[in-house]
Structure 1
Amino acid sequence: MQKILFIIDKVELKYFEFNNLVTNFWLIKEFLDRGHEVFITISSNLSLKNKVPFAKCYGTFVENGDIFYNKEKLIDENINSFDLVMFRPDPPVDIDYINATYIFDFVNTKVINSPKAIRDFNEKLHSVLFSEFMTDTLVSSSIDEIEAFLKAKKQIVLKPLNRCFGSGVMFLYDGDPNTRTIINTLTNNQATLIMVQEFIPEVKNGDIRVLTLGNKILPYSIKKLPTKDDFKFNTHNDDFLVMSELTREQLNFFEPIAQKLCDMGIEMAGLDVINQKIIEVNVTSPCYFIKEINNLYNVHLHRELCDYLLTPSLLSV
């Protein structure tokens, strides 16, 4: 029996029950069903006492097929007493998030994904490490540079660097009368760096979530379709999620990325891809679309993930 700690998001703690749209809940339930001890906490419950990392956490249990935790019993545990830690709070990666990652500089047990790697890898900015797989990209706060990029590319997408779920993502075309207003808003009047990418027209057909596990690309992927009133995916339901099987060529194409991420300490990631171009690399708490993949591919992805996470050689690191 293994002792496992999940650092989850505050919203997930508040509404803690099995929700088949949430990757963390699938993993927690599968670990519990296998007889392992699973504890949950949030970033603000972490502490460091004379170089010893602690987490105030709750024990979880399964009852009638659902997951629960004992709200009356908050225990203070040495993080090094766990066999595995799943570090999966949602963005924004703000100063509180960054400070939480420092606690894990004193942790000796296996942590997925490595908090140091997450701290060092901005999901938007560091995607440029794979520039050969990306559309043309600019990271800047300069209105002049962004306008020049817009003039050259004609259509662009602007993204804040530390948000998630498509929050703050904007589309601009050359000649848009609101260009300067939008750029100044997103850059806080040229004080905040943002990512700017050439617009890929094929986005209207959706983007594909390609999933990594260790140094491999999983053979299952999901196409995320945009809603009628938006150019990007923003509604997590079956109407906007369809099967998109990867070919052997595609698996081989993306596998070097999985290897590089794994070498950095990022063993679970979600690549968002349009027309063979990566638009984002999700590493903080990537959604694995387990419900949809299980249904569409007739597999048990949650079991495959837990099999990997419980590999003895992985836990011994």
Structure 2
Amino acid sequence: MKLLFVVDPLASFKIYKDTTYVMMREAQRRGHEVSVCVPSDIFWLQGGRVTAQVETIALPEVDMAAYAAGSATEAWWQLQQVHTLALADFDAVLMRKDPPFDSEFFYTTHLLSQAEREGAKVFNKPAALRDHPEKLDILEFPEWIGPTLVTRDPERIRAFHAEHGDIILKPLDGMGGMGIFRVGADGMNLGSIIETLNDHGRTSVMVQRYIPAIKQGDKRILIIDGQVVPYALARIPQGNEIRGNMAVGGKAVAQLLSARDVQIAEAIGARLAARGLLLIGLDVIGDFVTEINVTSPTGFQEIFNQTGCDVAALYIDAIERRQATWLSTNA
């Protein structure tokens, strides 16, 4: 297969933990051709198809420990060819641009949707990316979440705090734990935090009851083509930190899913996979879903390194199945 990965600039990759990197490595191992582009390489000229300037690359064996230590001197990719191709000329287009989901991300999904109309096979489906904002999406599943409010109204936030006492506030467009605040029963700094996040009623805020089980970790549960990966990656807060995100120093520990984890993941995964979401990352604290990640879920390397469960192989298996189904349908 010819695969196109739509990604952030390759120079920004931290390959010793990057999930897209191991997806590409697994695809190459199976003999598939790997090409990449950044969203700004995609264009649509009147009368033509959605097209991109792409780089076909090879991924040599590298000293991963050196990359983790920041001492690597070898390049982790080798440029094979630069060419301009319609996205529909690839066997699969894998949208792996990291958040934030800003206006340019949104416009890129529209270009990808047009490419689909021209015959491209895009994962995750662009319309599904647009329709499933990662924080808001949990409200579709009230039976699996804790008390949650999304509002622009500062007084509703204060009322939610008065009811629940210990709360978490966060912006809807944050990533990596950015902008998350905890306010205890004493309400200390609640006004200042509301002003910071809410911007005097101009910006929506998500407010949730604090879940003490965060001390045991914020579990990332992966679902591939509706099938639940048997291990979660628990991101455990360190020191006085309330956030388990690895971007802020959380400790990543792979662990078998609990019966409750499986129940949640199967229920949500079955519904979302049918909408074109091949890869989903649920964030679960204790018994509650706190976020549904669909843009570029991560955690593949950490799970593999700690358990031997090859999540990248499961993902490329799913891409190959989709391609085989498409070929048999259109034979």
Would you say same fold, with TM above 0.5?
yes
Deviations along 1:165-197, one digit per CA (max 9) or x if unpaired, are 111111112333321111111112210112111
The SS at the match of 1:272 is strand
Task: Quote the residue 2:100 is aligned against.
Answer: 92
The SS at the match of 2:187 is coil
- Confirm or deny that 1:70 pairs with 2:66: no
- Confirm or deny that 1:110 pairs with 2:121: yes
- Confirm or deny that 1:6 pairs with 2:5: yes
Please say if residues 143 and 183 of structure 1, whose CA atoms lie closer than 8 Å, have aligned partners that are also in contact: yes
Distance of aligned partners of 1:36 and 1:238 in 2 relative to their CA distance in 1, 3 Å threshold: farther
Distance 1:191 1:231 in 2: 26
Between Structure 1 and Structure 2, the one with more strand by share is: 1
Distance of aligned partners of 1:278 and 1:314 in 2 relative to their CA distance in 1, 3 Å threshold: farther
Distance of aligned partners of 1:183 and 1:241 in 2 relative to their CA distance in 1, 3 Å threshold: same
- Confirm or deny that 1:32 pairs with 2:40: no
Task: Quote the residue 2:215 is aligned against.
Answer: 204
RMSD over aligned Cα, in angstroms?
Answer: 2.1
- Where structure 1 has 5 or more consecutive residues not aligned to the other structure, the ranges are none
Q: Given residue 148 of structure 1, which amino acid in structure 2 is its aligned partner?
A: A
Distance 1:305 1:236 in 2: 24
Distance 1:64 1:235 in 2: 26
Please say if residues 110 and 314 of structure 1, whose CA atoms lie closer than 8 Å, have aligned partners that are also in contact: no
- Higher mean Cα deviation, 53-62 or 173-182? 173-182
- Higher mean Cα deviation, 201-210 or 47-56? 47-56
Task: Quote the residue 2:132 is aligned against.
Answer: 121
Deviation of 1:292 (Å): 2.2
- Confirm or deny that 1:131 pairs with 2:139: no
Task: Quote the residue 1:308 is aligned against.
Answer: 318
Where in structure 2 are the equivalents of 1:145-224 lying within 5 Å?
Answer: 145-224=156-235
Deviation of 1:310 (Å): 1.3
Deviation of 1:42 (Å): 1.0
Deviation of 1:315 (Å): 4.8
Deviation of 1:275 (Å): 1.4
Distance 1:239 1:279 in 2: 17
Distance 2:113 2:178 in 1: 30
Please say if residues 214 and 244 of structure 2, whose CA atoms lie closer than 8 Å, have aligned partners that are also in contact: no
Please say if residues 265 and 282 of structure 2, whose CA atoms lie closer than 8 Å, have aligned partners that are also in contact: no
Deviation of 1:239 (Å): 7.8
Deviations along 1:32-85, one digit per CA (max 9) or x if unpaired, are 1222111111111111123511112111112344741429x5422100001001
Distance 2:188 2:263 in 1: 43
Distance 1:172 1:15 in 2: 35
Task: Quote the residue 1:277 is aligned against.
Answer: 288
The SS at the match of 1:39 is strand
Q: Given residue 106 of structure 1, which amino acid in structure 2 is its aligned partner?
A: Q
Deviation of 1:151 (Å): 0.6
Q: Given residue 320 of structure 2, which amino acid in structure 1 is its aligned partner?
A: L
Q: Given residue 306 of structure 2, which amino acid in structure 1 is its aligned partner?
A: L
Distance 1:219 1:49 in 2: 45
Task: Quote the residue 2:297 is aligned against.
Answer: 286
Task: Quote the residue 1:243 is aligned against.
Answer: 254
Deviation of 1:236 (Å): 5.8
Deviation of 1:314 (Å): 5.1
- Confirm or deny that 1:53 pairs with 2:50: yes
Residue-pair matches, total: 311
Distance 1:23 1:196 in 2: 30
**Percent of pairs with identical residues:** 29
Tell me the TM-score normalised to structure 1 length: 0.91
